Amino acid sequence: MKRLIPTAIALMGTTAVTSVQANEEVNVYSYRQPFLMEPIFDAFTKESGIDVNVVFAKKGLTERLKREGKNSPADLIFTVDIGRLNEVVEAGVVQGVTTPELEKNIPAQYVGPEGQWYGLTTRARVIYASKDRVAEGAITRYEDLAKPEWKGKICTRSGKHPYNVALIASMIANNGEAETEKWLTGVKNNLAQKPQGNDRAQVKAIKEGVCDLAIGNNYYYGKMLMDEEQSDWAQAVNIVFPNQADRGTHVNISGVSLTKSAPNKDNAIKLMNFLSNGPAQKIYAEQNFEYPVKPGVGPSALVASWGSFKSDTLPLTDIAKYRTLAAKLVDRTGFDN
Amino acid sequence: MYTQTNTLSFSRFFRNPWFMSSAFIAFMVGLPIIAVFYLAFYPEENIWPHLIDTVLPGYVSSTLILMAGVGSLSLFMGVGSAWLVTMCKFPGRKMLEWALLLPFAVPAYVIAYVYTDLLEYAGIVQGSLREVFGWTTYKDYWFPEIRSMGGAITMMALVLYPYVYLMSRAAFLEQSMSLFSVSRNLGHTPLQSFLKVSLPVARPAIAVGLSLTLMETLNDFGTVDFFAVKTLTAGLYDTWLNMNNLGGAAQIASLMLIFVVTLIYMERFSRRKQKQFESKNQGQSLEQFQLRGIKAAAATFFCLLPVVAGFLIPICVLGYYAFLYFDVSWTSDFVSHAINSFTLSVIAAITTIVLGVALAYSKRLNAKGITSLLVRFSGLGYAMPGAVLAVGIIVPFAAFDNALDDFLRQHFGVSTGLLLSGTTFAIIFAYTVRFLAVSAGSVESSLAKVTPSMDMASRSLGRNTFSTLIRVHLPIIRGGILTAALVVFVDSMKELPATLILRPFNFETLATHVYQLASDELLEQSALASLIIVLVGIAPVIFLSRSISSSRAKR
């Protein structure tokens, strides 16, 4: 239990405290895994003396927030994937907020309508290609994945995973529904095995020779290189940022929203500001190998070594719009079967 | 006159405390189910045309195949081993009697991780084979794919057969020896006697065990997701999370419920004409066959196999990783996670037993009509996927909290905030709703064997129903009650989806802790916590297993 030291409050320049009172706190519902968030929350508590309480789950938090209504204890909800961010807005459980700091730190394309969500990090959906079996430059676009020359050579996780759904939604937004359905069928025909496992497992499959190409998020590359057991997997592949010659690589975001009911609104906004500032953005970059949204905060040295890339400038809200359709296309093409 | 008779029977009902209590329990437990039905009326869009055109046939067929596979494999392992350890003597029987329960403490998602780690291409088994035979790529040889329907069936059966084993063993133990002796005296072989006498008599209990296994199978998500097997439950979560359609998901859940109800009803209908009673066979102990030679070895092997595959191998793998990654995975929080898990599970076990006895007993007293419907209804929670059930609990709880808060604010100017939502009470409530079917079913099948003449004798001596229950029935059905308590305890230890969604801030159980690591496929780091779940689950398994054994005809 972190105990608040009254002197720390004094140092923080807050109003004089006459007696030791209950800790200042902020309550968080998080779809993001705790071990990604803990270092950042700890840094925040250290700096501000505000305790962060968390409930982590993979699903159901939006429903919980909705039903708890105006009495919900949650102040902030952390989500991964634009679809989810959009979902909390549509559920009507968050409120818009803006502060000079947020405005300064987070570029407009990563801010939801009226500040109902703020993107904190971006990640690119890249193609991993076998170093041994795929020549450099042999694959440069997402569209190439449907070409018959890759028959039996592609691995991916389930088409229904939010990361893939978002990618497919971006294809719909760029190329239209019919074209995307054709593309998806083409990719399905090229699969080496039924979609299974997570992004890392696809890279492992390349290492094992099951396939030559895989789709995955960029930060897993860094995480695998850092992991004793998994670094061999990562060593076996090159990272390819698709569509550099045209629209750019598909990126998705993780973000945060202020809830409508927020009982500790001030503290919640403090945490939001903190997350958008250099030090927290640095932690995201260094520990998770994601791309910070704050201009001027660079990615980690490792991530930077993969080179800079051009990202698709399509508004993220468009991707959110086509999410349900994307999920249906996965069903229609029998992608996961 | 018609109305009068109606009111008469109603007033008789309402004077009956047993009926009232079972109605109340059924209502409370039914709330989340009603909430899910309610949600099903408000889908974001009509999802069915799309589902029927595309993936639904696949979902349904893989669900059926999975259930048939897990069901038959569990029956084979569970009933076979239960009969062997109850009726025969062979080397290792005493130990196997309780060891056969051990796989039960291993969560299905954990065993799936372990075997994938062992059997996938990069795992130690195939790696060694490649070493030995000089194969280099996966194209050089054939090896069964663990991430498949067959893999899912095997994994689930390995951790679910103990349901069948438990229930059928309790039934074999309670069976009167005289029945079997008569059959033997009439010249039947032991096997014939087993098939013609023991099995039919144990059928209600086996059916309970099997239906629990099948319901677990139906609402499992962790394992099928990991193995990429697309069942109805997978489709349900997909509709909810990827198509933003909670109402549509609730519709699928309701459909699954109907499916389950049909299943249970069919089983009951098939034995509607059977009734069997036993009196306590004081002083008559089971006589067991001494098996020798090849038969004894075969019996030992048959009972040992599920224990080795379902428990020893996973434990060794987990133990190895736990040891290797101990420094990374040991945190001081472990003790508090373990205490959380243990406390919640104990409370849930006690609650479900008390409620289960109340339900089963009131059903015994009013065997007709409405009471037995109520009892059926309150068992439905078990067939709901955990995450959906959790949403079904949030709906009434939050509504109650907010209504109370509004009322008090209006009239007294005080705010109570959320009293029930996001508390451990909500979690215990979830466990109770989910596992009431287990305790009610188990208690009911034990009670069914107590002859009504016992009740009559007791009542004619001036005892009321309550005291008859306490002094007469409970001692007789102790084994069934302990069995139920054990199952609920271990199940609660393992429960994941509902716990994740309902828990308070900064609250972890061992299962949620394992999940957070394992969901990132960090099997190595999650091994220690998995091991602790299993170990905490083992102690009561062994303890209760002994009590059940000693509950067989006392000397």
* Cβ-defined contact of B422 to A61 (cutoff 8 Å): no
List the single range of A59-68, A225-234, B223-232, B278-287 with lowest mean pLDDT: B278-287
Measured between beta carbons, the chain B residues lying within 8 angstroms of A71 are: 401-402, 405, 415, 417-418
One-letter amino acid identity for B259? F
* Cβ-defined contact of A324 to B244 (cutoff 8 Å): yes
Measured between beta carbons, the chain A residues lying within 8 angstroms of B325 are: none
Which of B237, B401, B516 comes nearest A56 by C-beta? B516
- Tell me the pLDDT of chain A averaged across its residues: 89
- Residue B272 is predicted with a pLDDT of 65
What is chain B's pLDDT, residue by residue, as a tens digit (555 residues)?
343 444 445 555 556 777 788 888 888 888 998 898 898 998 888 888 888 888 889 999 999 999 999 999 999 999 999 989 988 888 888 889 889 989 988 888 889 989 988 988 878 888 888 888 888 877 788 888 888 999 999 999 999 999 899 888 878 887 766 777 777 788 787 778 778 888 888 888 888 888 889 888 988 888 888 888 999 988 888 888 888 888 999 999 888 888 778 777 776 776 666 666 655 554 455 567 788 888 889 999 999 999 999 999 999 999 998 888 887 777 778 888 888 998 999 999 999 999 988 888 888 777 667 777 777 777 788 888 888 888 899 989 988 888 888 888 888 887 877 888 888 999 999 999 999 988 888 888 788 777 777 777 877 887 887 777 777 778 878 877 887 888 899 889 888 888 988 899 988 898 888 877 776 667 777 888 888 888 887 877 777 677 666 655 443
The pLDDT of A83-107, averaged and rounded, is: 93
- How many whole angstroms from its chain centre is CA A304? 18
B 207-246 residues with CB < 8 A to A: 227-228, 230, 237-238, 240-246
**In the predicted structure, residue A17 carries a pLDDT above the cut 70:** no
- Residue A275 is predicted with a pLDDT of 95
CA distances in angstroms from B230 to B149, B220, B334, B384, listed in the order given? 9, 11, 34, 17
Determine the residue of chain B that is closest to A223 in CA distance: B520
Which of A54, A83, A196 comes nearest B228 by C-beta? A196
Each residue of A71-89: pLDDT tens digit?
A: 999 999 999 999 889 889 9
One-letter amino acid identity for A249? T
Measured between beta carbons, the chain B residues lying within 8 angstroms of A229 are: 524
Each residue of B221-263: pLDDT tens digit?
A: 888 888 889 999 888 888 888 888 889 999 998 888 887 787 7
Measured between beta carbons, the chain A residues lying within 8 angstroms of B417 are: 71, 73
* Alpha carbon of B188: minimum distance to chain A alpha carbons (Å): 51
Determine the residue of chain B that is closest to A335 in CA distance: B55
What is residue B201's three-state secondary structure? helix
* Cβ-defined contact of A64 to B501 (cutoff 8 Å): yes
Better-scored residue on pLDDT, B369 or A265: A265
* Alpha carbon of B276: minimum distance to chain A alpha carbons (Å): 46
The pLDDT of A215-240, averaged and rounded, is: 91
The pLDDT of A199-204, averaged and rounded, is: 91
* Alpha carbon of B118: minimum distance to chain A alpha carbons (Å): 15
* Cβ-defined contact of A55 to B503 (cutoff 8 Å): yes
B404 has a chain A CB within 8 A of its CB: no
Phi, psi of A122 (to 5 degrees): -120, 155
Q: What DSSP letter does each residue of B415-477 carry, written as one string? A: ----SSTTSHHHHHHHHHHHHHHHHHHHHHHHHTTB-HHHHHHHHHTT--HHHHIIIIIHHHT
User: CA B164 to CA A215: how far, in whole Å?
Assistant: 43
Q: What DSSP letter does each residue of A108-123 carry, written as one string? A: GGGB-GGGS-EEEEEE
* Cβ-defined contact of A323 to B244 (cutoff 8 Å): yes
* Alpha carbon of A260: minimum distance to chain B alpha carbons (Å): 15
User: CA B431 to CA A337: how far, in whole Å?
Assistant: 34
Measured between beta carbons, the chain B residues lying within 8 angstroms of A83 are: 244
CA distances in angstroms from A303 to A221, A286, A291, A298, A308, listed in the order given? 9, 9, 8, 9, 9
CA distances in angstroms from B550 to B263, B304, B472, listed in the order given? 34, 22, 18
**In the predicted structure, residue A208 carries a pLDDT above the cut 70:** yes
Element (H, E) at A176: none
Which of B244, B397, B506 comes nearest A53 by C-beta? B506
pTM value is: 0.85
**In the predicted structure, residue A21 carries a pLDDT above the cut 50:** no
**In the predicted structure, residue A102 carries a pLDDT above the cut 80:** yes
**In the predicted structure, residue A113 carries a pLDDT above the cut 80:** yes
Nearest to B396 by CA among B354, B433, B365, B360: B433
CA distances in angstroms from A3 to A148, A172, A267, listed in the order given? 62, 51, 17
Which of A60, A72, A210 comes nearest B501 by C-beta? A60
* Cβ-defined contact of B418 to A72 (cutoff 8 Å): yes
Determine the residue of chain B that is closest to A83 in CA distance: B242
One-letter amino acid identity for B211? S
**In the predicted structure, residue A18 carries a pLDDT above the cut 60:** no
* Alpha carbon of B192: minimum distance to chain A alpha carbons (Å): 45
Measured between beta carbons, the chain B residues lying within 8 angstroms of A70 are: 402
End-to-end CA distance of chain B: 57
Measured between beta carbons, the chain A residues lying within 8 angstroms of B230 are: 336-337
B398 has a chain A CB within 8 A of its CB: yes
Rg, C-alpha atoms of chain A = 21
Which of A35, A87, A208 comes nearest B138 by C-beta? A208
Phi, psi of A14 (to 5 degrees): -80, 175
* Cβ-defined contact of A196 to B399 (cutoff 8 Å): no
User: CA B23 to CA B162: how far, in whole Å?
Assistant: 31
- Residue B278 is predicted with a pLDDT of 57
The pLDDT of A127-138, averaged and rounded, is: 94
* Alpha carbon of B243: minimum distance to chain A alpha carbons (Å): 5
Determine the residue of chain B that is closest to A64 in CA distance: B394
* Cβ-defined contact of B55 to A331 (cutoff 8 Å): yes
- Residue B5 is predicted with a pLDDT of 41
Measured between beta carbons, the chain A residues lying within 8 angstroms of B46 are: none
Better-scored residue on pLDDT, A37 or B521: A37
Strand pairing of A291-292 and A118-130?
Answer: antiparallel
Question: What number of C-beta contacts closer than 8 Å exist between A and B?
Answer: 132
CA distances in angstroms from B148 to A39, B223, B230, listed in the order given? 38, 10, 10
- Residue A123 is predicted with a pLDDT of 94
Which of A87, A195, A331 comes nearest B244 by C-beta? A87
The pLDDT of A7-26, averaged and rounded, is: 47
B503 has a chain A CB within 8 A of its CB: yes
Specify whether the CB–CB gap between B341 and B499 falls below 8 A: no
